[in-house]
Structure 1
Amino acid sequence: MESAKKIKLPEAKQHLQEALNQYRSVPSELGFLTVAKTFEILVEYAWRELKERVEDQGLDAPAPKIAVKQAARLGLITEPEMWLNCIDARNDSVHDYFGISKKEYLALAEQFLSLVDAIKIVS
C-alpha cells in the first residue's frame, strides 16, 4: 500500500500549481499567501521524499539541506543549489513572507514544481 507521504507529494504539487494559476488569474494578497503556504508544504514533502530515498540507499539525511546534498551525490536530483535556494526561501517565508519580492517568490515556486518533477527513481 502506498504511504500517506507518497500520496501527499503529488497532492502538494497539484495544490501549488492551482494556487499559482489562481494567483495569475486574480492577483491578491490572499492569493499570494496561499501560494506561499502551498510552496512551504511542497518543500516539506519534497525534502522528506529525498530523505527517504537517500536513507534507502544507506546514507544519513537528518535535515533538509543534508538530504539535498546526499540526493545530488546519488544522482537523484541535478540542481542541488536551486533546491537549497528553495529550502532557504521556505525557511524565510515561515518567518516573513516578504523576505524576497513577490515576483521572485512566485518564480521560485514555479521552478520548484519542475525540480520536484525531476526527482529520479533509483532502483
Structure 2
Amino acid sequence: MIWHIPDYKNIKFHWYNQIMMIIICHICFAMSHLDGYQYEDYFHPIPLQLIALAYATIKCALDEWSDRGWRLLQFKEGAYWDVYLMLLTNLRNLVQQSKVFERKFREDIWKWVMGHKRLAC
C-alpha cells in the first residue's frame, strides 16, 4: 500500500508508513497465538504505544544495518528506550492537536493490519 500524501509538508502524514504497519502485523497478528488475535479488543484502534514501538524498531534496524549490512537483530530495549519515549511523546502531542486525525490514523492502521494478517504479514 502506498499512501497518497496530499500535503507532504503536513507533519501528520509523515507518520503513515507501510514498514511500520508490517512490523505491527508481525509483532501481533502474524500467527493466531499472538496477542493481536487473543486480545483483539485491546488493539482496536491500534495503540499509540505499539506505533511508537514499531518506529523504534525501524530506528534500531537502520542504526544497526547502516555500517555492517543486513543481519538478524534482537531489539535492544535499553538502547532504544529513549527513542521509543520520544516517538510516543511526539505521537501524543500530534494527536492532541487533532482528535479526528488520531481516530483516522489509528483506524487506517487497524484496517491495513486486519487486511493483511495471516497473509504475507
Kindly indicate whether structure 1 or structure 2 has the higher relative contact order, using CA contacts under 8 Å at least 6 residues apart: 2
More helix by share: 1
| Same fold? TM cut 0.5 | no
TM range (shorter): 0.3 to 0.5
